[in-house]
Structure 1
């Protein structure tokens, strides 16, 4: 099985004439450096909160009203380092690592399925004395954000979704080979471990970077270590996370999303080979208080990491600060 299968899904033709080019959309943005000092500093900031789900790893910056940042798969809270740096003057920014990913230590026998993630997030917020949050999410973190909103609508002040699951793409077809390899206990050995060992391979067209990052220089060596190191060291929990995605967790969620009073903004990279424009349009129609879609031409799945200025701009507009 080819690694490329992980990240290929057919997209319909996109009418891009009215969309901003990468140059204009990201004018004034700067890529996060991802160098050794950056990674070391972020890891040093990481805290652990003991819960019934395990020891939840998270980074917190700023004060005041809280914003909760939910990362994608196979990433962790480090994905949001640039956004936290830009938004912490305006919010108490909290970026946890999901159960089964990153540096969170999962309790024995604990489920890492999306419904358990929602319960974990609620307990984390309770422990941090946070009542309501502005949610910002990407990839499978967007699925968790929608589930959290559906179960705890009163706890979500605003919602900013980037490329992620929707009710009509959950899970996306491209995830099928990952789930199958996880069932066979081979996902880590066949894909993640080789990428961790060979950073050039990880950034190649057949690797994590080439298929999910917009720029060929990403992710950096340090980011690859931060993201994939914990997953390779804990293959069983990594496989459990992947296998837990093998159902449509968003099925039937439409009425609860439409009932939400939280202003919602969609920011969508059109170069994504995992989630389609159709999914973005479905999400935009799902929220009664939608603030529309911003399409970013050519940007791939994990573009929020690469262009934190864009995320900060959209978040501040949504928050009206």
Structure 2
């Protein structure tokens, strides 16, 4: 009965979202920054005080964000998917509202270990992962380290072993190394036009969606103290050396179903990266291309993420 209800309800969402996407519409997330902020919880773990959002019931969907974003990236998808899954979206260490000590490692491996500790703390056995950008690298590492904890995985524009970190991220890493990245990012708080013309134009189809409210939610915690600024730099410095070096053989042995949803207009992670993932995962469910999508298309087209997630979950239920 529960499975029948899931199929009926998700079928309605699939139809509605397909119509919206086909008409070129974009779903405006129901959750604004204030509402999202009010939902934030914290888990005190050995690695620090981990900020996360949790909404819904049933099996768990784990959302992993990119940089310099936080869990707010997934607000639209969570709005759409929380009727069908217990949606869990943590902030990575060094980003968002998570708080860790100066000595805490911020590497992708350390982030994967944090996720395991968080799931154990919350009593969660298995998850359906939805990830993008650097969160996709962590997702792949988590999968090979803990394959029994992953039910399915949806990857959108993200690091892959042959392209991590991508060349377009090197200037950002250079600013982190020089200690200027936080200063550059902080300017967005007082100059929305600058944020849209630089960061926004690079990662959104419509940079205007990068509102002052959204900028504040992403940037404010990163520059809130000397420690947080240093950790913002350290997060980016930890992107080198390649955190995915040598994992291809393990990914080729994975039996976890994987769906790839890729923004085809992204200049940072190309469609070749999507094709690579489709080729190496034995249980790949193929690629869905989002023609107008750039790196963070998940915010602009959350209905596409929801549609493909539900299709993937149906296939493994």
TM-score under structure 2 length normalisation: 0.90
Residue 195 of structure 2: aligned partner = 202
C-alpha distance 256-26 of structure 1, shift in aligned 2 (>3 A):
farther
Superposition RMSD on alpha carbons, in Å?
1.7
Which residue in 1 is equivalent to 2:275?
Answer: 281
Structure 2: stretches of 5+ with no match in the other structure: 1-17
What is the 5 A alignment of 1:1-321?
25=21, 27=23, 29-33=25-29, 38-189=32-183, 191-204=184-197, 207-233=198-224, 234-320=228-314
CA offsets, 1:32-62, max 9 Å, x none? Answer: 358xx71101001000000011100000001
Deviations 1:13-48 (A, max 9, x none): xxxxxxxxx9984547533358xx711010010000
Give deviations 1:77-101, integer Å, cap 9, x for gaps: 0000111111111111000000000
Question: For the residues of structure 2 that align with 1:301 and 1:216, how far apart are their CA atoms?
Answer: 12
How far apart are the structure 2 equivalents of 1:68 and 1:59?
A: 10
Residue equivalent to 1:17? none
- The 4+ residue runs of structure 1 with deviation greater than 6 A are none
Aligned to 1:5: none
Using the alignment, how far apart are the partners of 2:97 and 2:38 within structure 1? 12
Shift of 1:108: 3.4
Question: How many Å separate the matches in 1 of 2:213 and 2:196?
Answer: 12
How far residue 258 of structure 1 moved from its aligned partner, in angstroms, is: 1.5
Map of 1:6 onto structure 2: none
Looking at structure 1, the residues matched to 160 and 263 of structure 2 have their Cα atoms a distance apart, in angstroms, of 15
For these two proteins, the number of residue pairs brought into alignment is 295
> CA shift at 1:183, angstroms?
1.1
1:107 to partner: Cα distance: 2.5
Name the CA distance, whole Å, in 2 between partners of 1:243 and 1:23: 42
Please state whether the residue corresponding to 1:105 is helix, strand or coil.
coil
- Distance in 1, matches of 2:103 and 2:173, equals 20
Q: Is the CA contact 1:53–1:106 (under 8 Å) kept in the aligned structure 2?
A: yes
Comparing both chains, which one has the higher relative contact order based on Cα–Cα distances under 8 Å and sequence gaps of 6 or more? 1
Q: Is the CA contact 2:126–2:150 (under 8 Å) kept in the aligned structure 1?
A: yes
1:203 match: secondary structure: helix
Partner of 2:208, secondary structure, is: coil
Q: Distance in 1 between matches of 2:84 and 2:24?
A: 20
8 Å contact from structure 1 (residues 52, 107) kept in 2: no
- Unpaired runs of at least 5, structure 1: 1-21
